[in-house]
Structure 1
Amino acid sequence: MRFSTCLAAIALAALPVSAHAHDDRKDDAAEAPVPPPVMSVTRHKGVFGGQSIAYTATTGETYLKDKDGKPLAAIFATSYVKDGGDKGRPVTFLYNGGPGSGSVWLHMGAFGPKRVVLPRDAGDDGAPPYPVVDNPESLLDVTDIVFIDPVGTGFAHAIGKKDPKDYWGVSADAKSIAEFIRIWLNENGRWSSPKYIGGESYGTTRSVALINELEGQYNDVSINGIILISTILDFAATAETQGNEMPYILNLPSMAATAWYHRKIANPPATVAEMAAQARAFAIGPYAAALLKGNALGVQERASVRAELARLTGLSERFVDNADLRVSPGRFYKELLRDRGLTIGRLDTRYTGVDYDRAGEEPDNDPSFYGIDAAYTAAINAYLRDDLKLKMDRQYVTIGSVGPWDWKLADQNGRGGQVYVNVAPYLGKALRENSGLKVFVGQGWYDFATPFFGAEYAMSRTGFDPSRIRYHYYDAGHMMYVRPDDLRKLSADVRAFIRAR
């Protein structure tokens, strides 16, 4: 039957079709009307931060249009607005990262009115069902919240003949989110409200590029605060390319914290914070000096650095020596617990996995991602379609392909097509030009995707006002809210940040 069907398809394809018929089809496609945005509005009640809140949930598409009003793309968003019409109440715009990730993680894991319950902390989420429960840690007691999915993520998409790649780049993405925010403020009458923007992972990059779009021109949208969760701003400093010594320096404190957690440190300090402090001091001092000396490093100095590096990483001196004092994260994930037959996660090194075998340099996969992804995918689809009554025939993209991503900043020139991707200067400029702006930085000790020392480094450069940057640390990894105690701490910390304006 399959063979016959294929023959029929080939025969149909071979039939002559006039050029006029082709033109008709093109014209029909070009003139096909764009349907209205898909939208659902529902009303709810919940208890958040100890307060009973009645709120309206609006979930659906917002069209971005050209100068003639033609829809080009649909941004998908879910807004939670407290009933009562208080225009002086803060509003917070949140998104995740990737690039290519929908806002499902912050939405269903941290700050939405409902959250998914994982069966265990730092373990595989297994098979369904995955309970979706009330989330008392949602921030709805202090701020209205808008969760945003950029083009190519969630239900967001380009319309008609518009190429979605036009939105896939640091600057282009930020421009599209800035446009959405302006539309949302117009439609909801919230221009005078205190405003916060925030994201996780690449979402922190987006936040800083976004504030440049919102405040870097004459028709400003002024921001009260930026919420950076698992921060990555300076990609050059963390690029694992031969000859770049910075990643080894910036990753070392995360290696030490991880070795401490898995009890691979001899005579360990009492807390992970103390372990991190020891590693920071060594990384920025003797270790940085040794790496920068390269082949000029003396024998005695090398031996001293090798011994301390082995102690802080929990690896053998022989392994550290074979790596020429430069242990890459991938090798670290595989080597640290090789004697136990386990690998560790990248997003959260508390997670462990079992590879096909114990040989090899790097793990087969990241146990801290496959340990949670099924639960979040099921949760967002069930919640939007069932609780929020969204009628959508598209597939929700939790993490999708949005490549090739244009990493070149719109106001940045490179040499030979290469650019130094660092959005941190945008943040320094925003702090200098907006005296009311404050920055929240939340970092997990066990995160290798966006190491905490890398965040500290990026925001300690010239041009930053450290008095308006607040760092908070959590006993988990990239998505620290998967650990219940850290969800409560993160919620309390962000709530306090918003209240302190």
Structure 2
Amino acid sequence: MNKILVVLLSISLSLPGVQSVLASTENQYQRKLAIDEKNVTKHSTKVNGKKFKYTATTGTQPVWDKDGQPIASLFYTYYQRSDIKDSATRPLLISFNGGPGSASVWMHVAYTGPKVLNVDNEGYPLQPYGVKTNPYSILDVADIVFVNPVNTGYSRVLPDKDGKMPSKEQQKKMFFGVNADVKYLAEWLNTFVSRNNRWRSPKYLIGESYGTTRVAGLAKELQSRQWMYVNGVILVSPTDIGIKRDGPVKAANRLPYFAAAAWYHQALTPALQQKRLTELLVEVEQFTLSEYLPALVKGGFISAKEKQHIAEQVAQYSGLSVSAVINNNLDVDNRFFWKELLRDRKQTIGRLDSRYLGIDKKVAGASPDYNAELSSWLHSFTPAINYYLREELQYKTDIKYNMFGDVHPWDRTGNNTGEGLRFAMAQNPYLHVMIQSGYFDGATNYFDAKYTLWQLDPSGLMKDRLSFKGYESGHMMYLRHEDLRQANEDIRQFIKQSLPAKGQAAKY
């Protein structure tokens, strides 16, 4: 009997109808990316008290090799205001996050987009997780596209025409490095702008953290290789963009951030604590440039008297003890500071946002066990973006949304993105640059950002097109409600002020 059943089963499985059902079932459950698709939903919102309608397009668009074969596909979300008739005068903001390896989720559902996280006024997660209307979104003045580079969000590398995945080394060469990243993204943006008829629109690039390296490089790559000129570049919590800050400069530049974090946690002397933060930071910045940096330059040849004087002043501004500063030879690193500042309270402070507190297994030690702020953020961002894309924007897939994707080892050689941005500005009189930084960011501190701004154009001939904005929050300054309002308004004004007047030619 068993042999008969086996024979009957084998015959039935060989029938064409049964084979097609099995094949369709197999395809139905394959976890593969759609290479080129889009889905459009319609919405309405209210920004700064004014109501308007908009569309949200979620989809994928291929990255092609030189032979026109798709080698990856990028997931994006594109917001367009519906009541704008002339796209030629409508700005387009192109948004990237960083990492490298980070999805576009952070600025998408917490900063400039039409929805923001359900968090409290300081940015701490609340349940139920989800999103709410962003009353300050810059969608009133610009359309926005949020781009996920390869292996972030739903974006993925594709197998070749023979179904074989490229090797790790091949993927690195194609996608995972400073220059490879900029090259393929510029090609991708050319296609996106063409498909969506945005060639005449004023264009702006915004990047956060490593995304600032990305958009600084893209400004030149788009201009030089795609012949696409942009009106503005916004650097949010910037990296060094290839402008080196090594040795004594790197050490000295930390102090104003230390002072800001210590002020927030009320770890300074009463005389300093009663000052407004911005007032205090002016004082600390002046000491850093005029005394602290020159002292660090002297290294081991500094006199004992001067070393003691500098240590006392650094301790006063940082909230640390004089002995802690002396024992670090005046060069206090970040991880020690995050562990040491509130050691007497048995708490650590966050890396990306030092307002956040953590607790370690041991009070002893030279660095925190974990990054308190990142744990808090992943609480709210991960469920929110998965809910929002699937249920509100109706983009449904079984592919995992990578908050952080596999892009390492990342090739950091040949990082001349800052010089590229300067060159693009010199060639393009329309191009303006704005930096936005949180005073409590210990990963990409605000004084490093100012230093980058100062060194970006050593000639000083373009400083009227360079600006800096600071906020009383951290790396993602927009999580704090007041800074969400102000930072979006700063972008809004930056866009308005950098748009040329009618008839104003691009010339010096």
TM-score by length of 1: 0.87
Deviations 1:50-82, CA, capped at 9 Å, x for gaps = 332211111111001123321111011100012
Deviations 1:9-31, CA, capped at 9 Å, x for gaps = xxxxxxxxxxxxxxxxxxxxxxx
Equivalent positions of 1:77-116 (< 5 A) are: 77-83=76-82, 84-88=84-88, 89-116=90-117
The answer for unaligned runs of 5 or more in structure 1 is: 1-32, 410-420
Counterparts of 1:50 and 1:430 in 2: how far apart (Å)?
37
Deviations 1:95-150, CA, capped at 9 Å, x for gaps = 11100000100001011111111246264x37x42131111111111000000000
The equivalent position to 1:317 in structure 2, one of 314, 322, 339, is 322
AA at the equivalent of 1:57 = A
1:91 Cα deviation after fit? 0.6
Give the number of aligned pairs: 451
Counterparts of 1:394 and 1:317 in 2: how far apart (Å)?
53
State the secondary structure of the residue aligned to 1:459: helix
The equivalent position to 1:480 in structure 2, one of 465, 477, 493, is 477
State the secondary structure of the residue aligned to 1:43: strand
8 Å Cα contact 1:53-1:140 kept in structure 2: no
Could you tell me which residue of structure 2 aligns to residue 345 of structure 1? 350
Could you tell me which residue of structure 2 aligns to residue 261 of structure 1? 264
Does residue 225 of structure 1 match 2:232?
yes
1:405–1:36 distance in 2 versus 1, CA, 3 Å: closer
Counterparts of 1:56 and 1:164 in 2: how far apart (Å)?
34
State the secondary structure of the residue aligned to 1:346: coil
8 Å Cα contact 1:230-1:444 kept in structure 2: yes
Counterparts of 1:273 and 1:35 in 2: how far apart (Å)?
50
CA RMSD of aligned residues (A): 1.7
Counterparts of 1:213 and 1:392 in 2: how far apart (Å)?
33
1:236 Cα deviation after fit? 6.6
Equivalent positions of 1:228-239 (< 5 A) are: 228-234=235-241, 237-238=244-245
Counterparts of 1:189 and 1:361 in 2: how far apart (Å)?
54
1:352–1:34 distance in 2 versus 1, CA, 3 Å: closer
1:456–1:422 distance in 2 versus 1, CA, 3 Å: farther
Deviations 1:426-449, CA, capped at 9 Å, x for gaps = 222122111011111111000011
AA at the equivalent of 2:259 = A
Deviations 1:344-379, CA, capped at 9 Å, x for gaps = 001011111111120111000111111111210111
Deviations 1:159-199, CA, capped at 9 Å, x for gaps = 11245322011111111221121111110111010000111
TM-score by length of 2: 0.86
Counterparts of 2:412 and 2:459 in 1: how far apart (Å)?
23
Could you tell me which residue of structure 1 aligns to residue 192 of structure 2? 184
Equivalent positions of 1:51-450 (< 5 A) are: 51-83=50-82, 84-88=84-88, 89-119=90-120, 121=122, 123=124, 125=125, 128-160=127-159, 161-162=165-166, 163-165=170-172, 166-217=174-225, 219-234=226-241, 237-238=244-245, 244-266=247-269, 267-268=271-272, 269-409=274-414, 421-450=415-444
AA at the equivalent of 2:478 = Y
8 Å Cα contact 2:212-2:241 kept in structure 1: no
1:339–1:235 distance in 2 versus 1, CA, 3 Å: farther
1:42–1:376 distance in 2 versus 1, CA, 3 Å: same
Counterparts of 1:315 and 1:324 in 2: how far apart (Å)?
14
AA at the equivalent of 1:255 = F
State the secondary structure of the residue aligned to 1:42: strand
8 Å Cα contact 2:121-2:481 kept in structure 1: no
8 Å Cα contact 1:233-1:422 kept in structure 2: no
Could you tell me which residue of structure 2 aligns to residue 459 of structure 1? 453
1:86 Cα deviation after fit? 2.3
